[in-house]
Structure 1
Amino acid sequence: MKSFFLFIGITLCLQPVWAQKTKQPVHRDVPFVQEHSVKYYADETAGYRLVHTDRNGVVKVLSGAGLRAPHAGAFLYPGTLREDISYRPTADKKVAGLTLYQGQFVYLDDKAVFSNAWAGNLYTKHTLPDARLLAGGKDFNFLIANKSKLQYLENNAVAWEQNLPNEPILDLKADATTGTFWVLTGQSVYSFSGKEKKLQKVHSGTNFTCFEFFGGRLVLGTSGGYLELDAKTGKPQGTLNQKLPWPELTTLAVLDNQLWFGSTRGAFKRRSDGKFDYYASERWLPSDRVVHISGGPDGSVLILTDKGLGKLVFEKMTLHDKAVFFDKQVRSRHIRHGFNGTLGRMKNGDLATGSLRDSDNDGLWTTMYLGGEIFRYAATKDPEALQNCRESLEAMERLYTINGVPGFPSRSFERRGYKDDDKPWRRADDPEWDWKSTTSSDEAIGHVFAFGAMAELIDDKDLKARSVALLDTLMSHIVKNDMYLVDWDGKPTLWGRWHPDYVNGFPTNVGDRKLNSSNIVAMLQTAYHFTKKEKYKQKAFELMKQHGYFENLMRPMKLIGRAPADADEHAKKMSDGWNHSDDEMYYMGYWGLYRYAFNDTLKTQFKKAILDHWEFERPEKDGLWNILTAITGVSNFDLNEAVWYLQEYPLDLIEWGMQNSHRRDIEQLEPNFYKQTTKEILPPDELPVIRHNRTRFTIDQNGRGGTSELSAGDIWLLPYWAGRYLGVISAPVNR
C-alpha cells in the first residue's frame, strides 16, 4: 500500500493524460406507451356488474340500481359514477342486463331486449322473470338468462327455453362467426345451437367463475386459476394455471388480442412473454375487487370494481414529454421556499387537501432536484432551468445563514408555528423563523454534489461564485472541527462524522466504514478542485494514507455484511441489513470522487470502486445508479434498464398502499442481508413510490392511503437530466 501511495505522489506531478473515453451507447428518445389511470368513485354500494363503451365512445355502467355513467374525472382528479339520465325513457326502465351488439348498446329489462340504436326497431319481448344476462348471436337473435333458466329469442319471439335448476347461471357468451352460444355455471360449460335448439354440456368441474374466447380456445376462470379448453370439443388444453398475480378470478376479457384478468386482488394482463402486467391499488383502481373489464374510448381499458371505475389510458410520449410533465408536477405542487418538498396531509389522494411539509432531508432532496436542473441547463441552456437553479440555491444558502453557526448547514427552516415536529428545531434570530438542527452526512454529501456540479456546469458567474463559496464554507467547517459537523451546542451531530476514530471504529466489513471514507474523500476532492486550497488536498491524503480511507473506500462490496459477534452494539445496529440510503450517498459522492479525482491514477482506482458497487446494485435496475455509472466512460452501464426505469415509473407519485407479496407469478426470496425480496425486480409502476434511499425490492407498503405525493424532482428528473447531460439519452426524436 505504501508503494502505491508513492506512485500517487509521483503522478501528482506527472498528471498523465486520461485514456480516450470509451464510446457509449445512446438511447434514441422515441415515443413509448405511458400508462395512467383516471378513476371514477361510486357514491353508493349498488352492486356494479358491467361496463361497456359503444361505437360513439359513450360509457355506461350497469349496477343493481340501474344504469350509471362516468362524470368529470381526469388524471389525479377523480370523477364519480352518477345515475344515467341521458335518455329519460331508458332511465325509467328497469334495466337489468347490458351488452354490446355491432358496437351498439343493447339492454335487457323485465319485459324485453331492446336498443335505442337501429332507429329503436330492436324490441323483442321475453317471458323470463328476473332476467339479468344476455348475449347476441347472428341476425339479432339473443340468448337471455336469469339464475336458473335460459330463453332463446328469435324472430322477435321466444323460440326455446330450458331450466338449469341445480346450477346457477353465471354468464353467457356468443360466437358471432358460428352462431353458437356458450353458457357458464359454477360447475359446467354448455354450448347452445340456435339452429338446432339444443343445449349440450361440454365440460364439467368446480369453482368456475368466468370465461372468454381467446385464440381459438375457451379460457375458463376459476377461484384458483384458469384453464384453457378447445373451443370446439371442450377438452382441456393443459392443466390449471395458478401462477398468476392472484388466482381468484372474477372476469376475463380479450382486448387488442391480449388476455385480461380481473380478480379479487386487482387486474392483470398476460404479456407475450407469459408474464403479467399487474394493476392494483388506488394508483390504478378505486378498489382491487374487479367485477368486469372491457374496452374503453380511444384505446383505453375500463376496469369496473365494487367501488367504482378505473380507466387505464395508454398515451404515447417521449422521455422528454414525461420530463415536461414532471417538471410541472414539481413546480406547481412541490416547491417550498425553493426546497424540493413533499405534498403531505392529503386525504384519500385528493391533491386539493394537501399542504407542503418540511423534511429532515430538505437539503438532500433539494440538492438532487438542483442537480437535475443543473444538468438540464447544461444540456439545453433553458433559461427556466437556470431560474430554477437560482431559486433552489437561495434556499440552500439560507440553510447556512439562518442558524448563526459558521459553516453549519441546517436541515431545513420554516416559519415559526408551522413545523411538523419539535425535537430538532431551534429558534432563529429572526422571530418569524425556526431552523432544524442535527444535520447528517446525507445532507452534506448532497450539498457537495450540487455545489460542485453548479460550479462546473453553470455559466452564470454569480451562481458559480456562490456555489463555490458554499462549498468552501461547508468543508472549512468540517476540516476546522476535526472532521465533524458541529451543531449549535458545540457537539458533533449524530451522523455528521468523518473522523478516523468514528470511521475506523467500525469493523472492516461494516458498510459505514467504506461509505464515510468514500464520501469524505469525494467532498475534499471537490472542495480542492474549485478552491485550490491545499488544506483540502492535504486532509484527503492524510485520511487515505495514514488512516486507511483509501483501503476502506476500495473494499469490495461483497465483503460488506453484518458486524461480527464481538463488535459493539452500534456497529451491530448499523449493519443489521443493507441500508439503501447508503447507495444514494455513495452515488451522490461518486460525482466528486471520480470527476474531481486528484490525479488519473486515483481516478482509475475510483472507477474500479464505482463499477464494483454498480455490479452489486444491478439487480435493482435503478435508473440513477445506472446513468451515473456512465460518468466513468464504461460502455456497459445497463442503459436499457435505466430507460426501462424511466419509462415504467408511474406518472402518479401519490403514496398509495401497495401489495405484491401475495402474488404467485413472482419468485420470492428468503430474508437476506441485502433485503432483496424477489428474484427479479418488479416494474416501477407495480411497486410503491419510493425515493432512491430505499430498496426497490420493497414490494409492499401498508397504511399510506394516499396521504402524500412525492416529488419527481429527485426520483425521476435527476436521472433523466443526468442522462441527457452525459449524452446517453438523446433529445426527443422528431416523430
Structure 2
Amino acid sequence: MHYLRILLFTLVSIALGSCSGPVENKNLTAVMPVYKDSLYLQDYSIKYELGSPAVTMAFTDRNGVVQVLSKDGILRPNGGYFLHHGQLIPDRSYRPLGDKNIAAMTLYREQFIYLDDLAVLSNAWAGSLYLGHDLPHADLIQAGTDFDFLISDGKTLQFLSRDKAPWKAELETDSVVQIRYQKETNKFWILGQNSISTFDATTNTFRTAKKKERMTAFDLQGDRLVIGTPKGYFMMDADIDAQPGAIQDKLPVTEITWVETIGDNVWFGSPLGAFKKRDDGKFDYYYGKRWLPGNYVTHISKGKDNSILISTDGGLAQIVFRPMTLYQKAQYYEEQVRKRHIRLGFNASLDDMENGNVDTGRLSDSDNDGLWTSMYLAAEVFRYATTRSDEALQNCIESMDAMERLFNINDVPGFPSRSFERSGYIEQLHDPDRWQHTQDPEWDWKSTTSSDEAIGHIFAYGVMAELMENDLKQRAITLIDTLMGHIVDNDLYLVDFDGKPTTWGKWNPEYVNARPVMVGDRKINSSNIIAMLQTAYHFTGKEKYKEKAFDLMENHGYLENLMRPMKEIGRAPEDADEWSKMLSESWNHSDDEMYFLGYWGLYRYAFNDTLKTKYKEAILDHWEAERPERDGAWNIITALTGTPEFDLDHAAWYLREHPMDLITWNIKNSHRKDIEFIEPNFRKQTIKEVLPPDERPVQRHNANMFRLDKLGPEGTAEYSAGDIWLLPYWMGRYLGVISEPMAE
C-alpha cells in the first residue's frame, strides 16, 4: 500500500509536470470528439489472507489503524500492498485485550469499541469507558450517542449508557440479526429474522412490527431502510409502521449477507462476493481473488482514504478508490510491462505463478510473440510520436531488435519465426513439435507462422515507418519489404522451412476464393493482404506490390470480398467443404484483431481516394457490428477514418474500467440476476450489455468480450498491458481523441 501510494503520487507529478502534447495528426480532417483526461476513481484491491477461522468484521479508527475480529481474537493486517498479498496476524499492540473474550466490535467517534462477555469497553478516552452487562453470550453491538450502546445475544436486548438508565427486553418470538442507530431520531433499529423493532433511547420506548419476509441484514440510507433477504433486498421508510417496498432481485446475487451504507453508496455482501449500487441503478460487482480473498462476505465497513474493507471467509480485502488519470494508469502499465513482461525484447506473459504471486512467475514463449510484440511496439511508437519520450524510443529499439531477429534466426529468406529461445528447453515450451534448431547450437526458433503474426508485423512496421524519424524508420521499411517480398515471391503464401505453406499463412486466390462468400476467412484474408500490399507499396515504392494488389481486386474479387457486409458473414452451407464448415462454426474474435490492425494500412495507405472511401465504408460496417463489445482498441482504430462517431465514450470506459490487476483469477458471472441473457448466436454474445472489463476474465482483444466465466487453475499467469491497454491508449493520444492529462 505504501509502495503504491508513492508510485501514484510520483505519477501525478509526472502527469502534471512533464507531459508533452500530442503531435498534430494532419490526416484527421473531421472535427473529432476528444476525451478530456481528468481524474476518475480507479479501484484495485489489497488482500490479506487468512485460512481459518473466517474473518467476522473489520474497522478502521481515526488514526487509520485497522483491526480485524475473528474467532481467534483481534487480528491486524500485515505486509500487503497491491499485487502482493498480506497476512492477518494476531494484534499484540495491547496485551490485555488478548485475555478478553471479545465477541464483537464497533466504532464510536471513530474509536474502537469492544464487546466481551462482561462489558463494553475501549482503550480510547484513557480506557475510562467500561460498561458492565449481564449478557455473557452477547455478540451484537451498536453505538448510539453520548456513550450509549445497545447489545444483544440474539434474544435479549440490553441498553448501556454512562448517563442514562439501563434498559433490557427480550425479542420474544424472533432472533436478533443486527442493530443500527439513527442519529436524527435517537433511535436504535433492531432487525429480527421476521421483525423490525425500534428502541427510543430518550423515552425507553420499544416497538416491534412483524414482517413476512425472512430478513438477513440491513442499514439506513437517509430516512429509509435497506433490508436484505435471501431473495434480494427491499426498502421502506424509517417508520415502524411503514410498508415494505417490492423485493429488488435483479442483483448479481440475491442472497444478502450484509448491507452497508457508505457515503452515497449502498454496499451488499453475499455468499458470492460483494456489490455496490451505482447511481444508474446498476451494480459494480466484486467477485473472486481479483478482489477478495474469499467470496463469502461477512462484513463491510468504511476504510481509510476512500477505501472499503470487506471481511470474508478467506480474509480481508481493502478495495481502494484512487483518483487517477488515464495517463497515470498508462505510466503504471508501462512499468508493469518493463518490470515483468519483456522476454528477449518480446512482449510476453508471466506464467507458472503461485497463487497470483508475480515474483514466482516465469516469462513464457507464445505462438503469438510476434503479434503481441507488434501491438506493444506500435503502442510505444505512438507514445514516442506523441511525447518524444526517450524511454519510449529505447523500448521501440529493444522490441525492434527482437522483431528483426525473428527473420534472421532461421534460414528461410523473408520468413518470420513465431518465436525463438535458447536451446535445451524445447520440451518445456509451448507446442514443442513446432520448434526447430538453428545453425547456432545456442538457439532454437519456432515455425508455422500464421497470418495473425504477418498482419501484426506489417501494422507495427507501417506505424514505425510513418512516425519515426531515425534509423528505425529504415529498419521498418526493410522488414516490410522483406516479409512482403517473401509472400509475393511465394505466390501469396508464407512458406516454411519444409517448403510448404503454413496452415494459416495463405492469401492466394485459390485458397481464399475456395471459401463460400459467407465464410469469414474469405473476407479477412482479402482485407489483410490488400492492406499489407498497400503498406509495402507506400513505403518501398515497388510496383510489384501495387500490381499484385490491383490484380487481386480486379481479377480475383478481393475488393468485393473485403467490402462484403458483416451481416452476411455466417456459417457455411451444408454442402460446403469440411474446412469451410470448421472455419465458420462461430465468429472468430481473432479475426477482429486481424481486421482492425490491418485497417491502419488499408485506410491510411490507400492507393487512391476512391478506394479510401470504400475502405472507410467497410471499416465502419465492421465497427457497427463490434459496437456491443465496447472494445477500446476497435473504437480508437475506427477513429483513424476521421469519423466523428466511433464510441469514444465506450473507448474511455474500456480504459478506465480495465483492472489494474491482470492476473488470471477465476471469474464467475453466469449466476447473476442483474444481467439480461440472450439466445445463443453466431457471434457468441451471451448477454445484452457487455460487462465492465474488471468484472470479466482478463483477456486480450482477440477474445470474446461477452465471456462470462473463467474457472479452473487460477492465479497462474499475469498478462501484459502492452497490447491489451497501452495500444488503444497511445493510439488515442496520437490521433488526438484522448487529451493529455488535465491539470486539476
Fold shared by both chains (TM-score > 0.5): yes
CA contact (8 A) 2:208 2:240 kept: no
Deviation at 1:433, TM superposition (A): 1.1
Specify which of 245, 257, 260 is matched with residue 253 of structure 1.
260
Q: Is the 1:126–1:157 contact (alpha carbons within 8 Å) kept by the matching residues of 2? A: no
Name 1:434's counterpart in structure 2. 444
In the TM superposition, residue 193 of structure 1 has moved relative to its aligned partner by: 2.6
- How far has the Cα of 1:166 moved from its partner? 4.8
In structure 2, what is the equivalent of residue 265 of structure 1? 272
Q: Is the 8 A contact 1:228 1:236 kept in 2?
A: no
- The residue aligned with 1:138 is 145
* Alpha-carbon distance, 1:720 to partner: 0.5
How big is each residue's C-alpha offset from its partner over 1:632-686, in whole Å with a ceiling of 9 and x where there is no partner? 1111111111111111111111111111111111111111001111111111111
- Give the distance between the partners of 1:654 and 1:336, measured in 2 at CA: 18
Task: Measure, in 2, the Cα distance between the counterparts of 1:48 and 1:75.
Answer: 20
Q: CA deviation at 1:46?
A: 1.9
Aligned-pair CA distance for 1:237: 4.1
**Residue in structure 2 matched with residue 578 of structure 1 by the alignment:** 587
Partners of 1:52 and 1:542 in 2: how far apart? 72
In 2, Cα distance between equivalents of 1:547 and 1:300: 61
Corresponding position of 2:699:
690
Q: In the aligned structure 2, how far is the partner of 1:159 from the partner of 1:714?
A: 65
Partner of 1:385: 392
The answer to whether residue 344 in structure 2 is matched with residue 344 in structure 1 is no
Q: State which of 676, 681, 686 in structure 1 corresponds to 2:690.
A: 681
Structure 1 segment 555-594 matched on structure 2, within 5 A: 555-594=564-603
Q: Which amino acid aligns with 1:128?
A: L
Q: Deviations over 1:78-118 (max 9, x none)?
A: 11111111111222221111011111111111111111111
Structure 1 Cα separation of the partners of residues 275 and 645 of structure 2: 33
| Cα distance between partner residues in 2 of 1:24 and 1:123 | 66
- Structure 2 counterpart of 1:667: 676
CA contact under 8 A between 2:28 and 2:640: conserved in structure 1? no
1:34 alignment counterpart:
42
Distance 2:659 2:728 in 1: 15
Give the partner amino acid of 1:424: R
In structure 2, what is the equivalent of residue 531 of structure 1? 540
Say whether 1:424 aligns with 2:434: yes
| Per-residue deviation, residues 179-206 of structure 1 (Å, max 9, x unmatched) | 2222222222221233443432123224
Aligned mate of 2:731, from 712, 722, 725: 722
- Selected match of 1:22 from 30, 34, 37: 30
* Distance in structure 2 (CA, Å) of the matches to 1:629 and 1:547: 27
How far off its partner does 1:139 sit? 2.2
Distance 1:237 1:94 in 2: 38
Give matches, 1:308-347, under 5 Å.
Answer: 308-347=315-354
Pair 1:619 & 2:628 matched: yes
Q: Is the 8 A contact 1:339 1:362 kept in 2?
A: yes
> 1:461-511 CA deviation, whole Å, 9 max, x = no partner?
x21121111111111111111111011111110000001111001000110
5+ residue gaps in structure 2?
Answer: 1-25
TM-score under structure 1 normalisation? 0.95
Identity %: 58
Query: Contact between 1:688 and 1:699, CA under 8 Å: does it hold in 2?
Result: yes
Q: Which residue is 1:544 aligned to? A: 553
CA contact (8 A) 2:553 2:559 kept: yes
Question: Using the alignment, how far apart are the partners of 1:19 and 1:348 within structure 2?
Answer: 47
Cα distance, 1:380 vs. partner? 1.2
Say which is worse superposed, 669-678 or 331-340, in terms of deviation. 669-678
Aligned residue among 398, 409, 421 for 2:416: 409
1:167 deviates by: 2.8
For the residues of structure 2 that align with 1:583 and 1:714, how far apart are their CA atoms?
A: 14
Residue identity in the other structure for 2:97: T
Instruction: State which drifts further: 536-545 or 131-140.
Output: 131-140
Residue correspondence of structure 1 range 442-461 to structure 2 within 5 A: 442-460=452-470
Contact 1:688 1:700 in 2 (8 A): yes
SS in 1 for 2:49: strand
Give the number of equivalent residue pairs: 716
Structure 2 residue identity aligned to 1:30: S
For each residue in 1:325-347, what CA deviation from the matched residue of structure 2 results, as whole angstroms up to 9, or x when unmatched?
00000000000000000001011
Displacement of 1:141 in angstroms is 2.1
* Cα 1:155/1:381, change in 2 over 3 Å: closer
Q: Give the counterpart letter for 1:686 in structure 2.
A: E
1:698-734 Cα shifts (integer Å, max 9, x gaps): 1211114111000000000000110111111111122
2:245 pairs, out of 228, 238, 251, with 238
Equivalent pair of 1:125/1:156 in contact (CA under 8 Å): no
Match of 1:6 in 2: none
Corresponding residue SS for 2:253:
coil
SS of 1:33's equivalent? strand
Q: 1:104 aligns with which of 76, 99, 111?
A: 111
SS at match of 2:236: strand
Cα distance, 1:234 vs structure 2: 4.1
Give the secondary-structure state (helix, strand or coil) at the position aligned to 2:615: helix
Partner of 2:15: none
Superposed displacement of residue 236, structure 1: 2.8
3-state SS in 2 of match to 1:138? coil
* Paired residues of 1:182 and 1:189 also in contact (CA < 8 A): yes
CA drift at 1:628: 0.8
Contact 2:198/2:240 (CA < 8 Å) preserved in 1? no
Give the TM-score of the pair, scaled to structure 2: 0.94
Q: Name the residue aligned to 1:639.
A: 648
Report the equivalent of 1:170.
177
Counterpart position of 1:4: none
Task: Report the Cα distance in structure 1 between the residues aligned to 2:32 and 2:690, rounded to whole angstroms.
Answer: 25
Deviation at 1:382, TM superposition (A): 1.0
Cα distance between partner residues in 1 of 2:575 and 2:647 = 40
Whether the 8 Å contact between 1:124 and 1:157 is mirrored in structure 2 is no
Supply the distance in 2 between the matched residues of 1:665 and 1:467 (Cα, whole angstroms): 49
Q: Where in structure 1 are there 5+ consecutive unaligned residues?
A: 1-17
CA contact (8 A) 1:191 1:202 kept: no
CA distance in 1, matches of 2:273, 2:739: 36
Alignment-derived partner of residue 85 in structure 1: 92
Q: Secondary structure at the match of 2:166?
A: strand
CA contact (8 A) 2:34 2:736 kept: yes
Kindly tell me: are residues 233 and 200 of structure 1, through their superposed partners in 2, closer, same or farther at Cα, counting changes over 3 Å? Answer: closer
**Equivalent residues of 1:203, 1:235 under 8 A apart:** no
2:502 is the alignment partner of 1:493: yes
Instruction: Read off the aligned partner of 1:38 and give its amino acid letter.
Output: I
Question: Where do 1:649-660 residues align within 5 Å?
Answer: 649-660=658-669
2:421, 2:321 → 1: CA distance? 41
Is 1:64 aligned with 2:64?
no
Q: In 2, distance between residues paired with 1:102 and 1:685?
A: 35
Shift of the alpha carbon at 1:352?
A: 1.1
What amino acid maps onto 1:273 in structure 2? D
Q: Distance in 2 between matches of 1:136 and 1:722?
A: 54
Instruction: Tell whether 2:514 aligns with 1:505.
Output: yes
Judged with a 3 Å threshold, the aligned counterparts in structure 2 of structure 1 residues 441 and 20 are, in CA distance, closer, same or farther, namely closer
- CA-CA distance at 1:159 after TM superposition: 2.3
Which residue is 1:398 aligned to? 405
2:217 corresponds to which letter in structure 1?
C
Secondary structure of residue in 2 paired with 1:423: helix
**1:252 & 1:137 partners in 2: Cα distance?**
19
